[in-house]
Copies of this chain bind each other. A is one copy, B any other.
Amino acid sequence: MKIRIFVTLKNGVLDPQGKAIHHSLEGLGFSGINDVRSGRLIEMDVDDNVSDNDIDAMCRKLLANMVIENYHIEKVSEGADT
């Protein structure tokens, strides 16, 4: 089973990396960008018997810093090629 975990900064938490990307994009001549936020993506291939609770626990214990970050878990169907 393939899963994707998105870890994003909570609203209100400063994101200097996002700000730097925003600034660089404007420096390259791109306009119309209102906001950029950076985050992490973790793709995992786990056995089918790994429960949703286990995946949730992985996020809480290691992958996300719950003080400043949110996480979102998405299961990828085997047929999808992205």
Contact = CB atoms under 8 A, between A and B. Distances in A.
Contacts of A54: 30, 32
A41 B8 contact: yes
Interface string A30-72: 1011111111111111110110001001100111000000001
A67 to B, nearest CB: 19
**Size bracket of the A interface:** 35 or more
Interface of A: 6-8, 18, 21, 24-25, 28, 30, 32-47, 49-50, 54, 57-58, 61-63, 72, 82
11 contacts: A6-B41, A28-B58, A32-B47, A34-B45, A34-B47, A36-B42, A36-B44, A37-B42, A39-B41, A39-B42, A72-B82
